Amino acid sequence: MSLRVVPHPRITTRNEASQPNGFLVPVWNVHESTLPDDRTPQQLYVTVCSPGAQKGPHLHLKRWGYFTCVKGNVRVVVRTKEGYEVAFSGEDHSYSTIEIPAGCPALIENQGTVDAYVINTPSPAWHKDDVDDHPVEGWDFPG
């Protein structure tokens, strides 16, 4: 299995005088066939990872995750049946969305010097009656 990583363009936005006033990054659109219908995002949240910090590893047996770093940069480590895979997202990595399959533990790591803002659009959505958080056994990623 290979992680699916989908890069996104950075599009300059302009004011009425056609002067640049920022940018946008299209992360997901229901009218584009980037995700299977049964894994269409059902929730959207932002998690912020401090410089040098890690979040995880976390394991969800039902929930797929779709991580897109929109400020800063992150390294995402995922343990699949074949071993560990590493992918990157953020300003230096085409704002790529990294698909985390259900059943694969993953962690987010900010290797930079500024906070990293990561959007997650999981499916199915988190619910207090079905938290779907499980212990991660034997995590031994070397780096």
Please report the domains of the chain, with CATH numbers, ordered by start residue: 5-26+38-120 (2.60.120.10)
Using one digit for the tens of pLDDT, what is the confidence trace for 21-42?
988 888 877 777 677 777 878 8
pLDDT value of residue 93: 97
Using one digit for the tens of pLDDT, what is the confidence trace for 55-96?
999 999 999 999 999 999 999 999 999 999 999 999 999 999
Predicted structure pTM score: 0.84
DSSP lists the bridge partners of residue 109 as: 54, 75
The strand pair at 65-71 and 54-58 is best described as unpaired
Q: Is-contact 44 31, C-beta < 8 A?
A: no
Distance CA 1, CA 83 (A): 9
User: 52-90 b/e with 16+ CB inside 10 Å = b?
Assistant: eeebbbbbbeebbbbbbbbbbbbbbbbbbeeeebebbbb
Using one digit for the tens of pLDDT, what is the confidence trace for 87-133?
999 999 999 999 999 999 999 999 999 999 999 999 999 999 999 99
